[in-house]
Amino acid sequence: MKSHQWQNAQSRRFVVLFTLAISLFFSISAFAAPDGKALFKSKCGSCHYTNDQVLTGPGLQGVLGRVPSPEWARAWVHDNNKLRASGDAYAASIFAKFGGKTMTVFGTDLTDEEIDAILAYADKGGDPKPTGQNLATATTTAATDNSGDNLFIIVIILVVLIGIIAILRYTKINLRNALAEKEGRAEEPALPFLEASKDWMNNNKRKVALMGFLLFCCLIVKGWYALKGIGVYAEEVHPDEWVGYHPSQPINFSHKIHAGDVANGGNGIQCQYCHSGVDHSKTAGIPPVMVCMNCHKVISQNQAGTDESKTEIAKIYYATGWDPVTKTFSLPQHPVQWNKVHVLPDHVFFSHQQHVVVGKQQCETCHGDVKSMTTVEQQRPLTMGWCINCHRTTPVAMDGNGYYTALHEKMKEKYKDQTITVSMVGGIECSRCHY
Amino acid sequence: MANETKYWKGIAQLNDEKFVEKHQSEFAEYIPVEEFIGDSAKMESSSTNRRDFLKFLGFSTVAATLAACETPVMKTMPYVQRPEEIIPGVANWYASTFFDGHDYASVLVKTREGRPIKIEANPLSKITGDGKRGGLNARVQSSVLSLYDSTRLQGAKMKNGSAWVSKSWQDADAALGPKFAQSKGIAIISSTIASPSTKAAIAEFAAKYKNVRHVTYDAISYSGILKANNSTFGSAFIPTYNFDKADVIVSLGCDFLVNWLSPVEHARQYGLTRKVGTDKKAMSKHYQFESILSVTGSNADERFPVKPSQLGAVALGILSGLGGSASASAAVMTKEVGKVVDALKNAKGKALVVSGSNDPAIQVVVNEINRTLGSYGTTINTDIKDLTHQGDDSAFKKAVDDFGTAIDTVIFYNTNPVYSAPGALKFADAMKKLSLRVSFASHTDETASACDWILPDHHYLEAWNDYYPRTRQFSLQQPAIRPLFDTRHAQESFLTWAGNNSDYHSYIQKMWKMNAPVMDFTSYWNNSVRDGVVDMPMAVVVDKQDANPKPAAKPAADSTANVNAQTPPPNAMLDAVAFTGGTLSLSDAASQINAIKGGTYELSIYQKTSMGSGNQSQNPWLQEMPDPITKITWDNYVTMNPSDVQALKLFGVEDDILVRFDELEDALDIVEVTANGVKTKLPVWFQPGQTKGTIGIAVGYGRTGFNEVIDAVGKNIYPSVGWNEAGGTMEYNVYNVSVAATGDEQHEIASTQVHGTIMGRNEDLLRETTLTNYSKDERAGNPKPTMETYAGEKDVEDVNLWNSFERPNHKWALAIDLNSCIGCGACVVSCNAENNVAVVGKDQVRRSREMHWIRIDRYYSSDTVKEVEEDKGDMGTKEMYRKMESPTFDNPKVVFQPLMCQHCNHAPCETVCPVLATNHSSEGLNQMVYNRCVGTRYCANNCPFKVRRFNWFNYVEYDKFKDINPAQDLLGRMVLNPDVVVRSRGVMEKCSMCVQRIQAGKLDAKKASRRPIDGEIQTACSQSCPTNAIIFGDLNDDKSEVSAWYNSGRKFEMLEELGVRPSVFYLTKVWNREDENAHV
């Protein structure tokens, strides 16, 4: 499936309207009865899953079968401390089983009907939730591909035009026949459509030639751009404004939140903190998911601001095998399969350390303003032409590097006042990147 | 003068005009169109015409283009928890040890993301290095590929009837423990165990069960030397040899450079004595008496062909010449022996005589020669013993005799006697008398398939072990990867059965802790594991060895196994005890030698440089590595002197032996060899230099239990190995064999010897001189080539079509010293591993399509040149030229010349490429861009050196190469170097001068803000060369070693007169003999 996400404004508007309509429909239905799902998410989801897995508290799948009675459940949710104090044996056992942690006291925040709705929703296991099990198979979400729509419109226009031609032709033939009848001539048999077209073309050779030539030019131009775009996943829509490949990821990790400027609500984490290979290796490296745990042991789901972040943090826990109840890495680990965004072909050798450490390049040069991206997007074409152009214009970071001292002197002699670019020291030779 | 010498690689090349014509172009072989298209009759009857064909072509092109428009979504999966030491994209190196019971080497294992991908020598080891650099042989280089062998057993197996059933290790232990307890007697048959901890584990096993006997059996045995030294010194040991201290080296059928005892160590030492330069104008003088043309023999200054039965008599002749008390009953080769004796007499204390024989009688004589020459303490070191060869042939024979009586259970550890035992021992039959047979083999090989249980051991890259290869030198083996299969340390099996549940890693640590010479064991251990080798002062070693538990039930006769426990005799005592405590006196030895009677044909069973004893027969890199001498891949064969071929009337040859040699390249006649009652049918290869009346056959072939391809290669000759009753040893020379033609049977072989015939074929490829001439004139034998121009004769350097190019930063170059290159082929395998060179298999090699980026051309040359004959003036011009061109079949001169892309600065390949896929870098490299190449092959045709290789197939994906190409299965693919592209079909490839290493080295330097240090960047071939014959460096760096050689008088470029200005240059071959052209 095509994973580009070029959207035109029109269809975006349509999607928004459609979504609004759907939500409206659901909101209206929400007035009719307590919405177990919505309530669960807002009140319970931070500590409970709707499956059988333990978060802070037990997973609530099949809860109605476990508790002594619905009344007991209501009493527990209203005030579990009171229930335990009353000497209820099951309440005490639950308390002990989950490490002596007190559940939030909801008191009168929830009515009995609401509690029933929540439990009914959770009991059946909720909706199939992405608690992580789908991680390994998570694929790029389908983005609406609008190139098909354009084609559709063109086809409709063509059909309409052909229709008009057909109607006009029919009218013309009829008129001619009517005229012939009127003038008492015999009806001319109408030529079949194709022959008529041929006739017309024979009579209008110059027009045909002109049209053919224009069509040919269009095809050449279109074809040239199509060829240039093969395998290139970014497009410069305006000068310095790129739109490119941005597949969805198994964990909706937002660089904007993590690496974004503090002033813009981000956390200002340095790129190298996670992509630590950049100084030492040819690959910057996608960080091991354990690196997330350096912070997310502390910034747990309970601290997460939104439902979405809770879900995403749960995915980290699932991947690392972290048990939030016991606070240990005691569960099985599940590696995360990311969708690679910046892809170079196999026959290209690219070294991050060469560019970052020796060449003193900024990450943004090739990766764009990742700090402001919610989903990572390829914002540079990463084609050979693009690389070469950069090598032709970028000066070599020679200052203070002992490797270049002698070479620098030689180059200064040869190139006088010119800036010494990467290409002047052999930076566009084949075997620098291909071997 | 040297320019007049005629060189040739194959006999066909020398004699056949058709051949020369055929080999003018790079791809001369016939194009097998019909094979590709299929049945020609069917093709002709088909109705597809040209237009249809074009339509199909057009459609498929468009379809392929459209399909290529979308790059698929790529996944990437980082570690969940990155191991502390791994940075993806950065290689880790681990010091370890390779020992398979035959070859010993301290190695460094290069791993990428946890996968071992390359083996290099550990320079810290005294065996594989000198502290700064080291080298390895092809067999050790290849061992990394054996790790990813998918035919390896993946778990414990038990034989149930005739089928194998998988068993868990618990089941195996539960079943075997009681059986061992009930056994009458257990024999552990192993190859040499050089590991103290393994010996201790076996000792624990022996202590637990009754009547346990540990028998050391090596397929290639050195029992003869052990027994001889036991006779001479009263102690069975193998000393270490210092070839670097020898001025005169005499070898009696001893292939010490590539096979004998510790070849890598010897090659390094020998290389030192062969290097000559401005400040060193002396080199060793090397005499070789031998029956087959060996790698060592072809490097000898003077080489004398003798029959195997005469080697003993030659030894006696030398001894009596030196004034010894014994002499041969019938003197042989008196003139040559006299010459050698004179040389030896003048070099007392700086001479070394070695013999490759396993006959104690001959070795006793050689000991006496060396004693007379004062070699002990100088060129032979008896303080430092070689403990990697402890096989005891008589103990093995006794054990086999006891099968079914005193022994009813046998455990095979790292040995395969069903395959390798002499036929006389009838080992396979004897095994049937046993009630329980257990093997630790990693394959269902010949012995394992006759066993009841196979409990596969780890590959050495997955296992822990320790070694004690030399007196006072320890080394450690550490795993570089977690075991790929459900295998177990053999030592752990022994320990488990002995009731010790320790894992082997902690067991070694415990052993080392017990004997550690320091208090802080943790850092001592960590340092030892890091370095891989530990050298100890003598006192400590003795303590350590005494502290080791010794095998309990070892018969006293097995003295060799206890060698390392004995205090080495001090040098002073050696002369005093000489020839007293032995069991074989010199006179008895002489009479045993005199009793040897030769036959019309004699057989010498030898090891090939690639295959060794056959431990790694399943390794495709080794199979495809051309033999240094015959250049044959994927086969063994009978080598025979061409005149013997003629005498046997093989190949329909009557008078003129040379008539059909071109056709011989395709198919060889088969002969049947009967030796020691064993008949073997093998093709005949005519080998110049082979002694008349002698045939040679290599071991290591004719395997079973691997895959169809490997099992079909060659025949096993081990059963023809004889049993020397008098010496109690295995005898690899068979003194009387019969050879019979089989009629019309023929066998196709794949020899690379005339592939890639170079422009100017047999002139000016090599420059040679003698030491005498060289010491007078550094440019001896190396005149500057000149050219006639309108302005008179000019230096070719000054006549050029092209302008010179700037090399402002680096100017990379390779110097190849023809004098220290021994032709061993370690560089070929090293290059394979580093550059993901595809294995193509026998059929493709036969079509000249081998992919090796570096080849070693082996040239024979005639023994006379124009000047010599003109001086003599005793024949007409015509006769003179005929004589010059006629090969010396009996003893040709041999020169090895490693040849890779010469990285011409004015490269002919570059000018003909229509798409600029090959062009030049500003650092002197000829760049090959695979993704730009469209496969016209113009470049290969225009290459004067024929070093370009074309990918005729997609070798890594085409099923046809499934059983040979390691990159075909997912496991074999793990050996690929991730920094080098795997080439696809239809592109040209060639040596890149390891540009990936150059780039990495430059990056390191830039990061450290300095210039690269000379020697820091190494190509794969230069790094693994045991003799340091390939030197890589930067010509812009005045102080580099390569610059020094570039400016030396020995420097020459191949085909210099073409003016292609290669970046690879050679150093003249200097012979230490009177006439550079005569080999005798």
User: Residue B1022 is inside which H or E element, if any?
Assistant: helix B1020-1024
Is A288 within 8 Å of B995 when comparing Cβ atoms?
Answer: no
Tell me if A406 and B77 make a contact (CB, 8 A cut-off): no
User: The tokens 């090796």 sit on which residue?
Assistant: B852
The two three-digit tokens of residue A124, written as one number: 């059946």
User: B576 falls in which pLDDT band (50, 70, 90)?
Assistant: very low
Q: What is the pLDDT confidence band of residue B25, given thresholds at 50, 70 and 90?
A: low
Instruction: Please give the sequence-ordered ranges of beta strands (E in DSSP) within B49-202, or none if there are none.
Output: 75-76, 91-99, 104-112, 115-121, 157-160, 163-166, 186-190
SS3 per-residue string spanning chain A: CCCCCCCCHHHHHHHHHHHHHHHHHHHHHHHHCCCHHHHHHHHHCCCCCCCCCCCCCCCCCCHHHHCCCHHHHHHHHHCHHHHHHCCCHHHHHHHHHCCCCCCCCCCCCCCHHHHHHHHHHHHCCCCCCCCCCCHHHCCCCCCCCCHHHHHHHHHHHHHHHHHHHHHHHHHHHHHHHHHHHHHCCCCCCCCCHHHHHHHHHHHCHHHHHHHHHHHHHHHHHHHHHHHHCCCCCEEEEECCEEEECCCCCCCCCCHHHHHCCHHHCCCCCCHHHHCHHHHCCCCCCCCCHHHHHHHHCCCCHHHCCCHHHHHHHHHHHHHHCCECCCCECCCCCCCCCEECCCCCCCCCCCCHHHHHHHCCCCHHHHHCCHHHCCCCCCCCCCCHHHHHHHHHHCECCCCCCCCCHHHHHHHHHHHCCCCCEHHHHCCCCHHHCCC
Task: Determine the residue among B76, B925, B990, B996 to mutate to test chain A binding: the one whose Cβ has the most chain A Cβ atoms within 10 Å.
Answer: B76
pLDDT in tens, B456-465: 999 999 999 9
The set of residues, in sequence order, having a beta carbon less than 8 Å from that of A112 and lying 6+ positions away, is: A74
Q: Residues B226, B200: contact at Cβ < 8 Å?
A: no
Tell me how far CA of residue B692 lies from CA of B127, B439, B645, B695, B868, in angstroms. 37, 43, 10, 8, 27
Q: Which pLDDT value is given to residue B760?
A: 54
Partner B contacted by A177 (CB < 8 A): no
Interval A164-182: pLDDT, tens: 988 998 898 888 888 888 8
Among the partner-chain residues B78, B930, B1003, the one whose CB lies closest to the CB of A287 is: B78
pLDDT in tens, A237-275: 666 666 788 888 999 999 998 998 888 888 889 998 999
From CA B243, how far away is CA A169, in angstroms rounded? 104
**What is the spatial distance between Cα B298 and Cα B251, in angstroms, rounded to a whole number?**
12
Rounded Cα–Cα distance for residues B259 and B19 (Å): 34
Please give, rounded to a whole number of angstroms, the shortest distance from the CA of A273 to a CA of chain B: 14
Taking a contact as any Cβ pair under 8 Å apart, which residues of chain B between 57 and 86 contact chain A?
68-71, 73-82
Instruction: Give me the pLDDT at residue B418, please.
Output: 93
Closest residue of chain B to A233, computed from CA coordinates = B71
pLDDT at A132 over 80: no
Token pair 């005589």: residue: B353
Mean pLDDT to the nearest integer, B51-62:
86
Mean pLDDT of A137-164: 67
Residues of B in contact with A334 (CB under 8 A): 80
Q: Within an 8 Å CB–CB cutoff, is residue B579 touching chain A?
A: no
Structure tokens at A78: 């209203």
- Give the pLDDT band of residue A310 (cuts 50, 70, 90): confident
Q: Which helix (H) or strand (E) holds B438?
A: strand B436-439
- Say which DSSP state B1077 is in: S
Q: Which of B505, B532, B534, B479 is nearest to B95 (CA)?
A: B532
Q: pLDDT (tens digit, 9 = 90+) per residue, A199-222?
A: 888 888 899 999 999 999 999 988
With CA atoms as reference, report the closest residue to B146 among B575, B586, B422, B462: B462
A135 pLDDT higher than 70: no
- Residue B644 confidence (pLDDT): 83
State the pLDDT at residue B587: 84
Which residues 940-999 on chain B approach chain A with CB closer than 8 angstroms?
Answer: 979-981, 992, 995-996, 999
Summarize the confidence of residues B858-876 as an average pLDDT: 66
Q: What is residue A246's predicted lDDT score, i.e. its pLDDT? A: 84
* pLDDT tens-digit readout, B905-922: 999 999 999 999 999 999
Closest chain B residue by Cα to residue A336: B77
Q: How far is CA A129 from CA A52, A134, A314, B670, B1071, in A?
A: 12, 9, 11, 73, 81
Nearest to B930 among A283, A432, A434 (CB): A434
Q: Which chain B residue lies closest to A412 (C-alpha atoms)?
A: B808
Which tokens in the block code for residue B406?
């005193």
C-alpha of A356 from chain center: 27
**pLDDT for res B707:** 82
What's the whole-number mean pLDDT along residues B518-534? 87
Name B683's bridge partners.
Answer: B670
- Spell out which residues of chain B touch residue A335, defining contact as CB-CB under 8 Å: 77-80
Tokens of B366: 């050689």
CB < 8 Å to A360, chain B: none
Query: What pLDDT, on the 0 to 100 scale, is given for residue A241?
Result: 66
Closest approach of chain B CAs to the CA of A129, in angstroms?
22
- Using pLDDT thresholds of 50, 70 and 90, give the confidence band for residue B493: very high
Residue A148's pLDDT band (cuts 50, 70, 90): low
pLDDT one-digit tens code per residue, A68-78? 888 888 888 88
Residue that has been written with the tokens 């809770």 in this structure: A310
Q: Nearest to residue B535, comparing CAs of B106, B239, B199? A: B106
CA distances, B525 to each of B84, B502, B508, B673 (Å): 20, 18, 10, 54
Measured between CA atoms, the residue of chain B closest to residue A337 is: B77
CA distance B825 to B832: 11
Q: What is the pLDDT of residues B796-825, one digit of tens each?
A: 888 877 888 888 899 999 999 999 999 999
Q: Which residues of A touch B923 (CB under 8 A)?
A: 426
- Mean of the pLDDT values across residues B468-484? 90
B665 band by pLDDT with thresholds 50, 70 and 90: low
pLDDT digits over B177-203, tens only?
Answer: 899 999 989 999 999 998 889 988 998
Report angle CA A106, A109, A110 to the nearest 5 degrees. Answer: 90
A-to-B residue pairs, Cβ atoms closer than 8 angstroms: 148
A285 touches chain B (CB under 8 A): yes
Mean pLDDT for B110-120 is 93
pLDDT at B758: 63
Nearest to A435 among B80, B81, B995 (CB): B995
pLDDT at site B68: 64
Spatial separation of the C-alpha atoms in residues B803 and B912, rounded to whole Å: 18
At residue B750, the 3 state secondary structure works out as strand
Q: Report the 10 Å Cβ neighbour count for B1051.
A: 18
Percent of chain B at pLDDT above 70? 85
- What mean pLDDT is predicted for residues B43-64? 80
The helix (run of H) or strand (run of E) holding residue B14 is: helix B11-15
Specify the pLDDT at position B512: 86
pLDDT greater than 50 at residue B548: no
What count of other Cβ atoms lies within 10 Å of the Cβ of residue A404?
21
| Residue B821, helix vs strand vs coil | coil
| Rounded Cα–Cα distance for residues B440 and B150 (Å) | 17
Give the A window 381-400 contacts with B, CB below 8 Å.
400
pLDDT in tens, B284-331: 999 999 999 999 999 999 999 999 999 999 999 999 988 878 777 777
Average pLDDT, chain B: 84
CA B489 to chain A, closest CA, distance in angstroms equals 28
Question: Could you please report the per-residue DSSP string of B347-409?
Answer: TTTSEEEEE----HHHHHHHHHHHHHHT-BTTTEEEEEEB-S----HHHHHHHHHHBTTTB-E
Q: What is the mean pLDDT of the segment spanning A7-11? A: 43
Using one digit for the tens of pLDDT, what is the confidence trace for B396-446?
Answer: 988 999 998 889 999 999 999 999 999 988 999 999 999 999 999 999 999
pLDDT beyond 70 at B34: no
Predicted confidence at residue B925, as pLDDT, reads: 92
pLDDT band at B878 (very low <50, low <70, confident <90, very high): low
Provide mean pLDDT across the span B259-279. Answer: 91
pLDDT of residue A130: 43
CB-CB: which of A230, A349, A354 is closest to B979? A349
Dist. CA B393–CA B723, nearest whole Å: 9
Phi, psi for residue B692 in degrees, rounded to 5: -65, 140
Q: Count CB neighbours of B419 within 10 A.
A: 23
Lowest mean pLDDT among A250-264, B41-55, B399-413, B848-862: B41-55
What angle do the packed helices B521-531 and B504-515 form, to 10 degrees?
Answer: 110
Give me the pLDDT at residue A173, please.
85
Q: What is the mean pLDDT of residues A129-148?
A: 42
Q: Is B92 on the interface with A (CB under 8 A)?
A: no
Least confident of A285-299, B201-215, B221-235, B525-539: B525-539
- Within 8 A of A339 by CB-CB distance, chain B residues are 73-76
CB contact under 8 A, B76 and A286: yes
Q: Which range has highest mean pLDDT (B654-663, B892-901, B951-960)?
A: B892-901
Angle, helix B360-373 to helix B223-233, in steps of 10 degrees: 50
Mean pLDDT score across all residues of chain A: 80
pLDDT at B570: 32
| Long-range contact set of residues B883-886: C-beta below 8 Å, sequence gap at least 24 | B884/B4, B884/B6, B885/B6, B885/B14, B886/B862
The pLDDT value recorded for residue B936 is: 92
- CA B427, CA B937: separation in Å to the nearest integer? 54
Read off the pLDDT of residues B598-647 as tens digits, 9 standing for 90 and up: 889 999 999 999 999 988 898 999 999 999 998 899 998 999 888 888 77
E strands, B874-920, in order: 893-899, 918-920
